[in-house]
Amino acid sequence: MTATVPAELIGRLSELQGRMQTVSRAEIAEVVSTLLAEMEGDLSEDNLKLYAELESLSRYILAAKSEIAALRPDEITAQHLPKATDELDAIVGATEEATNSILAAMETLETLAGELPPEQGDKVTEAVTQVYEACNFQDITGQRITKVVRTLKHIEEKVEALVAAFGDEIAKYKATHPEAAEEPEQKPAKPTDADLLNGPQLPDDASKQAEIDALLASFD
Amino acid sequence: MAVDLNMNVLIVDDYKTMLRIIRNLLKQLGFNNVDEATDGSAALQKLRDKEYGLVISDWNMEPMTGIQLLREVRADAKLKNMPFIMITAESKTENVIAAKEAGVNNYIVKPFNAATLKTKLVTVLGNF
C-alpha cells in the first residue's frame, strides 16, 4: 500500500502542530476526515479484515502477558522452585543418614552373630543380610529424587526465560497490585491451625532441641 | 581353578551407603580385601596403582560413569581382561546392550539381593 499525503494536508497538520494548545476538537475531526478520505482506495476490504485480525491478536497477546504477569513467575523461580529443590535434597540427606545408622547397627549385630552358637548366629546373619538388601532403597530413592531435582531445574530455567521476556509486564503488575508484590503476606499475630502445619523443617531452618528447651523454659 | 577370596576387589558407586552394603555382602561371601571409589576416574586411578581381581561398578556417576570406566578398562592393555560387573538402577534394554557391547562380564539391576550377587560372582569368577 503506498499512500501519498497531499502537500495541503501536510501544511494543515504542521499548522495544527504549531498551535497544539489552542486547536479545537472540530478542527482535529476535519483533518482526520480529510486523512481518511485521502486513504480511500488504498484500504481494501481484505486489508481492513487483516488489520482487524492483527488488532484482535495484539489485544489477545496483551491480555495473555497481563495474565502471565499476574501469575508472578518471578516468585516461582525466586522462592517456590528453590524451596522444593532444598526439600528434596534434605530428603536425600536424611535418608542417607538414617541408612548409615541402620547399616552401622547391622554391622554390630553381624559381629555379635559370630559369637553366638552357629545355629543362632546364622539366623542373625540371615536377618542382617535382609536388612542390607532392604537398604538398597536409599540409592534408588536418591536417584529418583535427583531426577526430579533435575526436572525442577529445567522448569526453573524455562520460567526464568519467561520472567526475562515478561519483565516489564511483571514490574507493571507489581506496581498496580502492591498487595501481591511482597511475600510473605502479613500473618496475623496469632497463627491459625493451618499456619502451624509446616511439616519437617529444612536442617538450617529447624530449631534445635536446646533452642526449644530454652523457649519452653522462657515460659516458666 | 578355585577363586582366590583374598583377591583385591574394587567397588565403585557414588552412594556411600551402597558401597557399604556391597562391601558387607562381599565380606559375608568371604571377600575381605575390598577397596572403594566414588566415580570412574577415581576407580581407574586405583586400578592402575594396584592389582585387582574384580571390579563391581555402578553406572550413573560423575564425572566418569561406569560405562566410561568399563571402556577405559577394556582399552587398557594391562586391564583389558579384568572381570567387570555392573550394578545399576539403569535397567533399560539399551543399557544392557551398551554394557555388553563395551565388554561387561555381568549385569545386576538395583535393587538387588545377596543371592543375585553371589550367583553373578560365581558366573564371572567360578565357584567359591
Boundary residue ending a domain (A69, A103, A118): A69
Cβ of A207: how many Cβ atoms within 10 Å?
11
Same-domain pairing of A65 and A92: no
End-to-end CA distance of chain B: 10
Q: What residues of chain A have any CB closer than 8 angstroms to a CB in chain B?
A: 96, 99-100, 103, 106-107, 110, 125, 129, 132-133, 135-140, 142-143
> In the predicted model, what is the mean pLDDT of residues B87-106?
92
Hey, is B55 helix, strand or coil?
strand
A113 in Cβ contact with A121 (< 8 Å):
yes
> In the predicted model, what is the mean pLDDT of residues B78-99?
93
Mean per-residue pLDDT over chain A, rounded: 81
Q: CA-CA distance, B127 to B3, in Å (whole number)?
A: 7
Q: Is A107 a domain residue?
A: yes
pLDDT in tens, A109-154: 999 999 999 999 999 999 999 999 999 999 999 989 988 998 998 9
Strand partners, B54: B9
> In the predicted model, what is the mean pLDDT of residues A183-206?
71
Peptide bond into B63 cis (omega under 30): yes
Q: Is A185 a domain residue?
A: no
For residue A98, the chain B residue with the least C-alpha distance is B17
Residue where the block lists cell 557399604? B20
For residue A143, the chain B residue with the least C-alpha distance is B89
pTM of model > 0.80: no
Question: Which cell is A53 given?
Answer: 485480525
For residue A147, the chain B residue with the least C-alpha distance is B60
Report the complex ipTM: 0.83
- Per-residue DSSP letter, A196: G
Measure B73 CA to nearest chain A CA, in Å. Answer: 25
Q: CA-CA distance, B127 to A124, in Å (whole number)?
A: 25
For B38, residues 6+ apart whose C-beta sits below 8 A from its C-beta are B12, B13, B14, B16, B19, B61
Strand partners, B10: B35, B55
Q: Is A13 a domain residue?
A: yes
Q: CA-CA distance, B128 to B125, in Å (whole number)?
A: 8
Residue numbers of the domain that contains A131: 73-177
Contact yes or no for A136 and B24 at CB 8 A: no
Strand partners, B28: none
Nearest Cβ partner of B21 from A96, A132, A143?
Answer: A132
> In the predicted model, what is the mean pLDDT of residues B9-13?
98
Contact yes or no for A140 and B89 at CB 8 A: yes
Domain boundaries, chain B: 9-123
> Of A82-91, A180-189, B108-117, which gets the smallest average pLDDT?
A180-189
The kind and range of the H/E element at A142 are helix A136-165
* Second CATH level (architecture) for the domain B9-123: 3-Layer(aba) Sandwich (3.40)
Mutate to test the interface with B, among A133, A144, A150 (most CBs of B within 10 A): A133
What is the count of structural domains for chain A? 2
